[in-house]
């Protein structure tokens, strides 16, 4: 683990919550296999883009996503590198009934109850953030205990095998290498060959055209997580609404 990912994880370990108030929120189901789904992202910026939308309106963004028929929403809550916050997640929960994914860097089980408290229905586990599977197993078990779905993210065959070994049921293939931030949808196309049929398969990052989406759907993916295309690809809303 080097470069950007290592820096993000180092910062994240500094802000682990000490205690979390119990939440009465009951998470709802996140994804299914009945049709191809789109997870649209609420994103203010990233290490590769910088701060793109400092005045982003959570409400306006959600209304836009609901109008084009997305299935779920991913909310960036990492503050230092992605300019998000838990306040964004809390605001989104108050404004929509769509399932919400807290997209952040989970390194401690206390973040799971924190995610539920702020209204998440699902959390992200990034296999590249861990040198072994001890903490990912703990995160997965705690999420199941609290009723949250887990999107387990991989970028290569080794990480995919690790995700399967800990019992991941929803696996996301990140087409972006978190060490270099280079993007290639060929990563998803290659790893699709090794995914068991019972897994809910999600492709993430680098998706910019209808042709990309169709190619990935035809490769067996059940959903696509899309962020930057909503920020900088003209006419992308129409692409999604026509799926």
Query: So which residues are the catalytic ones?
Result: 41, 43, 103, 153, 174, 204-205
Residues 16, 4: Cα–Cα separation, whole Å: 19
Q: Please give the angle made by the CA atoms of 227, 230 and 234, to the nearest 5 degrees.
A: 145
- Facing residues of 46 across strands? 50
Q: Residue 123: phi, psi to the nearest 5? A: -130, 170
Residue spans of beta strands (DSSP E) within 23-88: 37-42, 45-46, 50-51, 72-76
- CA distance linking residue 91 with residue 58, whole number of Å: 7
Positive/negative CA dihedral, 104, 109, 111, 117: positive
Whole-angstrom CA distances from 13 to 9, 104, 156 are 6, 12, 25
Query: What is the total residue count of the chain?
Result: 243
For residue 220, what are its two tokens?
């067996």
How many CB atoms are located within 10 Å of the residue 57 CB? Answer: 12
Cα 58 from Cα 43, distance rounded (Å): 10
């Amino acid at each position: 683990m080097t470069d950007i990912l290592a820096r993000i994880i180092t910062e994240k370990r500094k802000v682990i919550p000490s205690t979390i108030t119990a939440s009465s929120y009951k998470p709802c189901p996140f994804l299914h296999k009945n049709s191809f789904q789109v997870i649209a992202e609420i994103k203010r910026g990233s290490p590769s883009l910088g701060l793109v939308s400092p005045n982003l309106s959570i409400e306006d963004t959600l209304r836009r996503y609901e109008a084009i028929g997305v299935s779920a929403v991913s909310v960036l809550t990492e503050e230092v590198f992605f300019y998000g916050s838990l306040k964004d997640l809390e605001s989104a929960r108050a404004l929509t009934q769509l399932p919400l994914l807290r997209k952040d860097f989970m390194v401690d089980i206390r973040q799971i109850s924190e995610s539920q408290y702020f209204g998440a229905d699902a959390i992200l586990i990034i296999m590249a953030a861990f040198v072994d599977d001890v903490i990912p197993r703990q995160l997965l078990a705690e999420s199941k205990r609290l009723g949250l779905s887990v999107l387990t993210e991989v970028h290569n065959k080794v990480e995919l095998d690790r995700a399967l070994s800990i019992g991941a049921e929803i696996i996301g293939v990140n087409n972006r290498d978190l060490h270099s931030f280079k993007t290639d949808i060929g990563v998803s196309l290659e790893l699709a060959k090794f995914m068991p049929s019972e897994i809910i398969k999600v492709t993430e990052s680098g998706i910019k055209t209808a042709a990309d989406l169709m190619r990935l759907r035809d490769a067996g993916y059940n959903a696509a997580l899309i962020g930057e295309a909503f920020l900088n690809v003209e006419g992308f809303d129409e692409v999604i609404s026509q799926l």
